[in-house]
């Protein structure tokens, strides 16, 4: 008898999934992972404590998802660049968390201060990348830094912190923030190694840690971000002292009041890295309390960012504070992994595919922007329009201590971003597949990769995803169970794709959304070795129109160095062009990351007639043998444009009104991540702007074109 294939399309939040993932985890015990890093044949891991609200997705141990193709090229370049050698380049990274004084900005003689934060970022990203690439040399290198912390905690008396060399030290302020980042790194170490001593150290610290973790607002760094590492530790140990401390931290009247405000859409501007780190905390606790206000608070804060500060590359502005929307506004590199981490928590909790869309947009677009093509260095900021240094954005106008240029580490006194960029790839790559409570596996983020996990009733399964996505539209998934087994596979259907196609072993399966909601395809069948699932995601061009506004008045004090004219009312029109999950830009050829070609033309306005695709063309070329985000991109768009005399400055980053289309031309756009100098918030002609309704900041128009 032939296997019966059942396909259901729905938001996973509508599926009544049993809590199978925690059925075997009611008693405390070690998770079932592979010592030395997860690899082929490794199992998913169990938990000792079940949350009140079962998560829709459960992450796999780092290493069970391994990048392939262009993603692996990029990850290996990162390993050979910043991630694998950062400790050779600056004392912040060579001496952080060793209990010795560091002669660098805000480093203290007792080994505390800013360097703890900056080196913890790097260590967290590097240990994860080591497991993901199964690179034992990198794992050993980073373990040589993390193991002394674990051993120091375990050998110290009760009540210690990860800053173990200071007995009875109760971290406050910046040290408490840095402590939360090290907690995250040690959770990754435990997930990758399965070693009891790592969990013992986490439990020892967090079972006795102060419940006074400070406010949850966005004004300053505090310890509230320890909560996600605390709750991960609780889930593995079942130690209720940790849960009690976490509930007490969120039970403070000021914290509860702010959570209520967020749930009702009342959110205040603040430092954007702190914003992206703090907004997930209510939702993390929702899993353990069932208090819907906490989940709604995190959703409300994200929605507020989308409405007021969202840039076309998928991240909010942050210079370092919230900066509104504008062509010269900047986003700090630290925001990329912070947003990915918080969005992934929401993805795990809700199962809503919109979080996958959000993560892909930020990763594929904003992710490569602050990294040099050889991943040897990084920039503090990125901006949608980077025309030339000293122009737009104006280097001297950055209120933070970092710039938008790429340079040696000694060029900046603040090294948070150079540490944080090491988290970008692993935060995405490790979560491309996750487990579901009904014994299934979910393709949550797309790209070339291999996943080794368990499914159904514990059958080992290998899935190989062959694709050049997002530079191509087709994804082939080869399913190889150890033996014939029945289990579901979930496939995310991106909201931007209206005509997705699914095939199983070459047979087309009709797929229609339920109630117009984006969600997942659920394919349930008895899988045999060699079964192939093919997902086709046809892409269309979409143009979003909006206006640049002033800097937020609420943060005038923070932006004291900014020209006062930037706070005056303004509504400068622009358009951004997307194709599938990719933002496209007008590239400015460059000699290197800091030097654009002289004489390059970039003074153009987009000249599209509403809902017409006349003059638009998609062009594809073979993928390069070695991926490095090339300026000669494998995917490009040719679009109608109009040349005009344009001399932007900091106060007039865009023309004040649509341009009269009297010099018709065409321009070639490439993916934003492939350019280091570019215009992605394009000026518009009257034709492009027509049809914009009222004062809506953004109106999207979709164009379907033949390739």
pTM equals 0.92
| Residues spanned by the domain of 653 | 541-703
At residue 397 the predicted structure's pLDDT band, cuts being 50, 70 and 90, is very low
| Interval 292-304: pLDDT, tens | 999 999 999 999 9
Are 570 and 672 found together in one domain? yes
Are 441 and 555 found together in one domain? no
Are 460 and 545 found together in one domain? no
The 3-state DSSP class for residue 332 equals: strand
Closest CA relative to residue 129, chosen from 447, 196, 371, 121:
121
E strand or H helix at 232: helix 226-237
DSSP string, 127-156: HHHHHHHT-HHHHHHHHHHHHHHHHHHHHS
Residue of higher predicted confidence among 474 and 220:
474
Residue % of the chain over a pLDDT of 90: 75
pLDDT at 24: 28
Residue of higher predicted confidence among 13 and 604:
604
Average pLDDT estimate for 8-34: 31
Q: Total structural domains in the chain? A: 2
Average pLDDT estimate for 153-163: 90
Average pLDDT estimate for 136-142: 98
Domain assignment present for 374? no
Structure tokens at 349: 């909790």
Task: Give yes or no for residue 239 having a pLDDT over 90.
Answer: yes
Buried b (16+ CB within 10 A) or exposed e, 310-344: bbbbbbbbbbbbbbbbbbbbbbbbbbbbbbbbbbb
pLDDT at 410: 62
pLDDT at 705: 59
Domain assignment present for 607? yes
| Interval 459-482: pLDDT, tens | 999 999 999 999 999 999 999 999
Are 662 and 546 found together in one domain? yes
Domain assignment present for 610? yes
Measured CA to CA, the distance from residue 482 to residue 472 in angstroms comes to 30
Measured CA to CA, the distance from residue 391 to residue 653 in angstroms comes to 10
Are 688 and 570 found together in one domain? yes
Residue of higher predicted confidence among 515 and 14:
515
Domain assignment present for 109? no
Structure tokens at 577: 């062009």
pLDDT at 21: 29
Buried b (16+ CB within 10 A) or exposed e, 691-707: ebeeeebbbebebebee
Are 496 and 645 found together in one domain? no
The 3-state DSSP class for residue 682 equals: strand
DSSP string, 585-640: EEE--EEETTEEPTT----EEE---TT--TT-EEEE-PPPSS-S--SS-SEEEEEE
End position of a domain, from candidates 507, 536, 565: 536
Domain assignment present for 180? no
pLDDT at 251: 94
Are 488 and 545 found together in one domain? no
Check if the beta carbon of residue 127 is closer than 8 Å to that of residue 177: no
End position of a domain, from candidates 536, 564, 580: 536
Report helix angle 281-289 to 292-308, nearest 10.
160
pLDDT at 30: 35
- CB contact set of 343 (below 8 Å; sequence gap of 6+): 302, 355, 358, 359, 362
* Count, residues in the chain: 707
Check if the beta carbon of residue 560 is closer than 8 Å to that of residue 641: no
Closest CA relative to residue 670, chosen from 705, 639, 628:
639
Strand partners, 245: none
E strand or H helix at 664: strand 664-671
Residue of higher predicted confidence among 403 and 423:
423
Average pLDDT estimate for 4-29: 31
At residue 610 the predicted structure's pLDDT band, cuts being 50, 70 and 90, is low
Domain assignment present for 357? no
| Interval 273-288: pLDDT, tens | 999 999 999 999 999 9
Measured CA to CA, the distance from residue 20 to residue 18 in angstroms comes to 5
Domain assignment present for 272? no
| Interval 91-121: pLDDT, tens | 999 999 999 999 898 999 999 999 999 999 9
Task: Give yes or no for residue 15 having a pLDDT over 50.
Answer: no
Domain assignment present for 341? no
Are 607 and 648 found together in one domain? yes
Residue of higher predicted confidence among 430 and 524:
430
Place of tokens 């013992």: 200
pLDDT at 696: 42
At residue 379 the predicted structure's pLDDT band, cuts being 50, 70 and 90, is very high
Residue 109, CA distances (Å) to 98, 115, 160, 367 in order:
12, 11, 20, 35
Task: Give yes or no for residue 704 having a pLDDT over 60.
Answer: no
Average pLDDT score, the chain: 87
| Interval 644-702: pLDDT, tens | 999 998 778 999 999 998 888 999 999 999 999 999 999 999 988 885 543 444 456 66
Structure tokens at 102: 């560091």
Check if the beta carbon of residue 466 is closer than 8 Å to that of residue 507: no
pLDDT at 556: 77
3-state secondary structure 507-559: EEECCCCCCCCCEEEEEEEEECCCEEEEEECCCCEEEEEEEECCCCHHHCCCC
| Interval 41-73: pLDDT, tens | 334 557 899 999 999 999 999 999 999 999 999
Closest CA relative to residue 61, chosen from 80, 82, 36:
36
| Interval 438-458: pLDDT, tens | 999 999 999 999 999 999 999
Are 523 and 465 found together in one domain? yes
Residue 682, CA distances (Å) to 148, 379, 645, 659, 669 in order:
51, 23, 14, 11, 11
Are 524 and 555 found together in one domain? no
Are 513 and 549 found together in one domain? no
Measured CA to CA, the distance from residue 218 to residue 321 in angstroms comes to 9
Structure tokens at 450: 């291999």
Looking at residue 449, which CATH number applies to its domain?
2.60.40
Are 482 and 581 found together in one domain? no
CA angle 227, 230, 233 (to 5 degrees): 155
Task: Give yes or no for residue 339 having a pLDDT over 90.
Answer: yes
pLDDT at 565: 80
End position of a domain, from candidates 502, 536, 570: 536
């Amino acid at each position: 008898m032939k296997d019966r294939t059942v396909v259901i399309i729905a938001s996973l939040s509508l599926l009544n999934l049993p809590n199978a993932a925690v059925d075997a985890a009611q008693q405390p015990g070690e998770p079932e992972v592979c010592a030395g890093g997860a690899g082929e044949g490794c199992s998913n891991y169990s938990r000792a404590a079940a949350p009140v609200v079962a998560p829709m997705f459960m992450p796999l141990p780092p290493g069970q998802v391994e990048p392939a193709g262009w993603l692996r090229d990029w990850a290996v370049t990162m390993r050979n660049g910043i991630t694998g050698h950062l400790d050779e380049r600056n004392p912040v990274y060579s001496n952080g968390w060793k209990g010795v004084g560091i002669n660098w900005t805000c480093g203290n003689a007792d080994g505390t201060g800013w360097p703890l934060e900056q080196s913890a970022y790097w260590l967290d990203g590097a240990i994860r990348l080591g497991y993901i690439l199964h690179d034992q040399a990198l794992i050993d290198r980073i373990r040589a830094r993390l193991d002394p912390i674990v051993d120091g905690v375990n050998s110290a008396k009760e009540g210690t912190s990860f800053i173990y060399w200071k007995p009875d030290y109760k971290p406050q302020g910046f040290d408490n923030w840095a402590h939360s980042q090290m907690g995250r790194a040690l959770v990754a170490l435990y997930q990758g190694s399965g070693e009891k001593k790592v969990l013992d150290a986490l439990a020892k610290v967090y079972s006795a840690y102060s419940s006074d973790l400070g406010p949850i607002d966005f004004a300053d760094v505090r310890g509230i971000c320890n909560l996600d590492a605390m709750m991960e530790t609780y889930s593995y140990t079942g130690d209720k002292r940790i849960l009690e401390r976490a509930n007490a931290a969120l039970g403070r009247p000021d914290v509860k009041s702010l959570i209520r405000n967020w749930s009702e859409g009342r959110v205040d501007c603040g430092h954007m890295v702190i914003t992206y780190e703090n907004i997930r905390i209510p939702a993390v606790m929702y899993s353990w309390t069932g208090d819907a206000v906490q989940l709604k608070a995190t959703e409300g804060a994200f929605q507020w960012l989308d409405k007021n500060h969202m840039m076309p590359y998928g991240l909010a502005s942050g210079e370092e504070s919230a900066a509104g929307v504008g062509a010269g506004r900047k986003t700090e590199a630290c925001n990329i992994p912070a947003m990915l981490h918080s969005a992934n928590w929401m993805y795990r909790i809700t199962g809503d595919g919109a979080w996958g869309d959000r993560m892909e947009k930020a990763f594929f677009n904003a992710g490569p922007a602050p990294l040099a093509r050889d991943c040897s260095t990084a920039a503090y900021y990125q901006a949608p329009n980077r025309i030339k240094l000293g122009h737009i954005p104006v280097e001297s106008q950055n209120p933070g201590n970092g710039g938008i240029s790429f340079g040696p580490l000694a060029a900046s006194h603040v090294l948070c971003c150079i540490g944080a960029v090491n988290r970008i790839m692993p935060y995405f790559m490790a979560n491309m597949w996750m487990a579901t409570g009904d014994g299934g596996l979910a393709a949550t983020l797309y790209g070339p990769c291999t996943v080794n996990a368990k499914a159904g009733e514990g059958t080992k399964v290998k899935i190989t995803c062959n694709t050049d996505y997002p530079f191509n539209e087709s994804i082939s998934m080869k399913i190889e169970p150890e033996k014939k087994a029945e289990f579901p596979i979930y496939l995310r259907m991106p909201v931007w794709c209206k005509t997705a196609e699914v095939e199983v072993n070459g047979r087309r399966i009709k797929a229609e959304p339920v109630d117009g909601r984006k969600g997942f395809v659920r394919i349930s069948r008895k899988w045999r070795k060699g079964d192939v699932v093919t997902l086709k995601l046809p892409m269309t061009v979409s143009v979003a129109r909006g206006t640049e506004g002033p800097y937020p008045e609420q943060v005038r004090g923070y932006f004291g160095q900014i020209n006062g004219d930037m706070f005056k009312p303004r509504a400068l029109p622009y358009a951004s062009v997307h194709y599938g999950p990719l933002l496209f830009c007008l590239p400015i050829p460059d000699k290197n990351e800091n030097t654009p070609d002289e004489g390059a033309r970039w003074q153009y306005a987009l000249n599209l007639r509403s809902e017409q695709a006349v003059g638009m063309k998609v062009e594809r070329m073979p993928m390069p043998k070695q991926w490095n985000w090339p300026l000669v991109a494998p995917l490009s768009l040719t679009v109608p444009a109009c040349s005009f005399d344009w001399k932007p400055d900091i106060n007039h980053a865009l023309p004040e009104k649509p341009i009269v289309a009297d010099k018709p031309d065409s321009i070639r756009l490439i993916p934003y991540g492939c350019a280091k100098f570019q215009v992605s918030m394009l000026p518009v002609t009257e034709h492009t702007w027509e049809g914009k309704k009222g004062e809506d900041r953004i109106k999207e128009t979709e164009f379907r074109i033949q390739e």
